Amino acid sequence: MKKLLLLLCAGVITTGYAQQETFKGKFEQLGQMLPTPNEYRTGSGAPGPKYWQQRADYDIDVTLDDKNQRITGKETITYFNNSPDALTYLWLQLDQNVREQETNTQKTSTNSMEDSLSTKSAAGRFAMYDFDGGFKIESITDGAGKKLPYIINKTMMRVDLEEPLKSGENFSFNVEWNYNINDRMEDGGRSGFEYFPADDNYVYTIAQFYPRMCVYDDYEGWQNKQFLGRGEFTLTFGNYKVNITVPSDHIVASTGTLQNAKDVLTKTEIERFEQSKKSFDKPVIIVTQAEAEAKEKTKSSKTSTWTYSAENVRDFAFATSRKFIWDAQAVKVGNKTPLAMSFYPKEGNPLWEQESTKAVKATLETYSKYTIDYPYPVAISVHAASIGMEYPMICFNFGRPDPDGTFSDRTKYRMIGVIIHEVGHNFFPMIINSDERQWTWMDEGLNTFVQYRTEEEQYDNFPSRRGPASKIVDYMKGDKENIRPIMTNSEQITQFGNNAYAKPATALNILRETVMGPELFDAAFKEYASRWAFKHPKPADFFRTMEDASAVDLDWFWNGWFYTVDNVNISVDEVKWFKMRTEDVQIENKSKKVKKGDLSASADNSEMMDFSGGPQPFSLVDTEESAYREFQNRLDDKAIMQKFENKNFYEIKFVNKGGLVMPIIVEFTFADGTKTIEKIPAEIWRKNEKEVSKVFYFDKEVTNVVLDPNLETADTDVSDNVFPRKREVSKFDEFKGKSGK
């Protein structure tokens, strides 16, 4: 079914995103497009009674060479086949191979010449850096030490088995490897090192450092789509034991729980570390800036091995440096007390000491509210230049003050925002484990949405970049040739940040605030997180769960926001004012006979569309006998007429210019200055997707009408959302004016 989704998406792209190519109408159900429910994934969006997933446990020894910036490692992988299938080979990811000289990433990237280029830009654009990257696989053997045949295809490696791995069995094998650590200043990679020339030291942020199992699932078998650099990682849950050997004066931050603190920490550091586990009001400094600065100068030649273990995680990463300052604080989440921790060089202070761990704490609290209680023992924010990247329990984040320690509000809030976002990735996709290689929005978009909720709830007047509807307007009204639907594979997306982060986050915010309401949305969103925690959800599982848990039909919403590049542009095209005909209708501040044919625009066809022409009359007459058909009782026509007396009726025509159907939100201002808002569900468009009329009635006269008054639908042109307004002059009107006729 994945292929069907891709073909449909491709069809939308190649036809200029004409929605009718995919749907008969905007309210057609998605059933024909989504995978058929089965015993693995149900029609409700929940895992089925026979849902299964694989498991991979890792025992890793890795050594970091601080003199030569090199990683050497060996691992034992135990792979558990919980599928109903017999497997004759296993696929592993070799993500470091994205840096080998023959990488497809460079070959398939487009570039061009310019009149003037900086040396850094030119070297990166044309791969002129002299760097020997990629994994060097030294050996692959089974448990008895016998060599296993393998084939490397770019960033993927197939290991062939002597005998099929049957359902319910497990298989252990060993891999030895090494690679050169990349300089992130040169290539901006997700992991690597940063060099500090002032004190001749390094900060290492190490990830994708070991060959990792690909996902094998019920949806498509092996997910072994090549890593080109953008589409991130699809990974299998398992348990880890990792021994990390580094210079003895380094501090290591890592996924998991430190098992040998007495071997690698001083007595004072251990005491502070234990104190932090009981400190809920503020962080405890475990390694001070003065202590870190002293180690920058001494540079021990000895090594120490830090041992970490982690259970039920999909990946593993670490950071290490002698430059690290370290602080930690306990956080109350349900019945757990995870530690929020930060590691940063002095170049991050004073900003990082003031804000980082505070932001980690805020993230754990808010995300736990909207999803599940944070289940892991730690959540770590590591400071590294010009990056935001996430792994289980640890993330690497930018935000550096000026050399004199000062910083702007922009630097502060951007740093807090990236910390919230990257720590939030612990939930999406580290726990709710979506396929990042295929569907970027399922982790970035959902995560950005909850990031916005955290900024709103934990900070005053936070300048959020993504989430509010008004922030996405410029993108939504852009050239459709340069936009892709959200439901597009990571590598084919254009305007990546807007498509995969901002648009889905905004869509979910609109879904919560305008379409469903917070109560229904929050319950359904939490249900999705609970159902798919520590599992592998797909888009259909999210779409179906949100409907199943709320009783709200959202197929029109997923269709418009996720499968098309339509935008919201609804106009107030006409407003007609009516009053029931009586012998003499009294109009406020004047008395006059109401004439048949008075329109919303004044009778002389001036450029103003307003109420100056007064109301149009209409009549109520007694109900004809034939209207009652077989019924014996009768309506009280006079009583009904009395209800209509002195009421003001306003017929409004709304035109859908952007194509994206949405609820209609109308604010009415009355002659006495009071206001009211009417909210009409999106289903009003189900019979006519281009224009609809709706009659509203009030006791008071309306002086002003505004569509989407609080800018909550991402309407791309609000100039036609108001009445009264200047009437658009037609070409015929212009001709009349020029000719004098």
Q: CA 712, CA 166: separation in Å to the nearest integer?
A: 54
- The residue written with tokens 């002003």 in the block is 704
What digits encode the pLDDT tens for the residues 63-118?
999 999 999 999 999 999 999 999 999 999 999 999 987 777 777 778 788 888 88
- The residue written with tokens 């060099």 in the block is 195
- What pTM was computed for the model? 0.91
Which phi and psi (to 5°) does residue 83 adopt? -80, 165
Q: Angle between the 441-458 and 351-370 helix axes, to the nearest 10 degrees?
A: 110
Side-chain-side CA neighbours of residue 474 (13 Å): 4
Contact (Cβ atoms closer than 8 angstroms) between residue 440 and residue 490:
yes
Other C-beta atoms lying within 10 Å of the C-beta of residue 18: 12
Contact (Cβ atoms closer than 8 angstroms) between residue 37 and residue 543:
no
Burial 285-299 (b: 16+ CB within 10 A, else e): bbbbbebbeebbeee
What digits encode the pLDDT tens for the residues 673-721?
999 999 999 999 999 999 999 999 999 999 999 999 999 999 999 999 9
Sheet holding 136-142, edge to edge: 136-142, 170-180, 70-80, 55-65, 238-247, 303-313, 257-258
What are the 10-residue block averages of pLDDT along the chain, 741 residues in total? 40 39 75 92 98 98 98 98 98 95 78 81 74 94 97 97 98 98 93 97 98 97 93 96 98 98 98 98 98 95 97 98 98 97 98 98 98 98 97 98 97 98 98 96 98 98 97 96 95 94 98 98 98 98 98 97 97 95 54 38 47 91 94 94 94 97 98 98 96 97 97 97 74 43 41
Peptide bond into 84 cis (omega under 30): no
531, two tokens: 């159902």
pLDDT value, residue 31 = 83
Q: CA 635, CA 472: separation in Å to the nearest integer?
A: 51
pLDDT value, residue 731 = 43
User: Which domains, and CATH codes, for the chain?
Assistant: 1-45+434-566 (1.10.390), 570-739 (no CATH)
pLDDT value, residue 24 = 65
pLDDT value, residue 16 = 38
DSSP letter at 218 equals T
Contact (Cβ atoms closer than 8 angstroms) between residue 308 and residue 347:
no
Contact (Cβ atoms closer than 8 angstroms) between residue 255 and residue 308:
yes
pLDDT value, residue 5 = 42
Which of 552, 550, 568, 571 has its CA nearest to residue 560?
A: 568
56, two tokens: 């991979």
Which phi and psi (to 5°) does residue 165 adopt? -85, 105
The conformational region for residue 506 under phi > 0 = left, psi -120 to 50 = alpha, else beta, is alpha
Which phi and psi (to 5°) does residue 694 adopt? -145, 135
Which of 231, 74, 218 has its CA nearest to residue 155?
A: 231
Other C-beta atoms lying within 10 Å of the C-beta of residue 428: 26
CA–CA distances in Å: residue 166 to residues 40, 50, 76, 151: 19, 17, 20, 22
Peptide bond into 350 cis (omega under 30): yes
Q: Which amino acid is at 603?
A: A
Q: CA 541, CA 53: separation in Å to the nearest integer?
A: 15
DSSP letter at 103 equals -
Q: Would you mind telling me the total number of residues written for the chain in this entry?
A: 741
Which phi and psi (to 5°) does residue 676 adopt? -145, 155
pLDDT value, residue 728 = 56
pLDDT value, residue 6 = 40
- The residue written with tokens 């199943």 in the block is 548
632 Cβ contact partners less than 8 Å away, ≥ 6 residues apart = none
| Cα-trace Rg, the chain | 31
pLDDT value, residue 116 = 84
Which of 452, 669, 459, 447 has its CA nearest to residue 575?
A: 669
- The H-or-E segment that residue 341 falls in is strand 339-344
381 Cβ contact partners less than 8 Å away, ≥ 6 residues apart = 341, 342, 343, 356, 357, 359, 360, 395, 397, 419, 422, 423
What digits encode the pLDDT tens for the residues 618-674?
999 999 999 999 999 999 999 999 999 999 999 999 999 999 999 999 999 999 999
Which phi and psi (to 5°) does residue 9 adopt? -60, -45
DSSP letter at 523 equals H
pLDDT value, residue 724 = 94
Q: Between the CA atoms of 377, 383, 386 and 392, what dihedral angle is there, to the nearest 10 degrees?
A: -10
Q: Which amino acid is at 369?
A: K
Side-chain-side CA neighbours of residue 444 (13 Å): 24
Which of 375, 379, 398, 371 has its CA nearest to residue 387?
A: 398
CA–CA distances in Å: residue 684 to residues 413, 546, 662, 679, 687: 41, 21, 9, 11, 7
Other C-beta atoms lying within 10 Å of the C-beta of residue 730: 9
Q: CA 210, CA 92: separation in Å to the nearest integer?
A: 10
Q: CA 71, CA 191: separation in Å to the nearest integer?
A: 12
3-state secondary structure 539-582: HHHHHHHHHHCCCCCCHHHHHHHHCCCCEECEEEEEEEEEEECC
Strand pairing report for 55-65 and 238-247: parallel
CA–CA distances in Å: residue 124 to residues 109, 492, 497: 11, 21, 21
CA–CA distances in Å: residue 638 to residues 582, 634, 641, 647: 13, 12, 5, 15
What's the sign of the alpha-carbon dihedral 485, 490, 492, 495? positive
SS3 of residue 529 by DSSP: helix
Alpha carbon 657 to its chain centroid, in Å, reads 27
Peptide bond into 211 cis (omega under 30): no
- Hey, which bits of 596-701 come out as E strands? 608-609, 616-618, 648-656, 664-670, 675-680, 691-698
Other C-beta atoms lying within 10 Å of the C-beta of residue 383: 29
Other C-beta atoms lying within 10 Å of the C-beta of residue 512: 19
Contact (Cβ atoms closer than 8 angstroms) between residue 356 and residue 383:
yes
7, two tokens: 């073909």
- The residue written with tokens 């990042």 in the block is 436
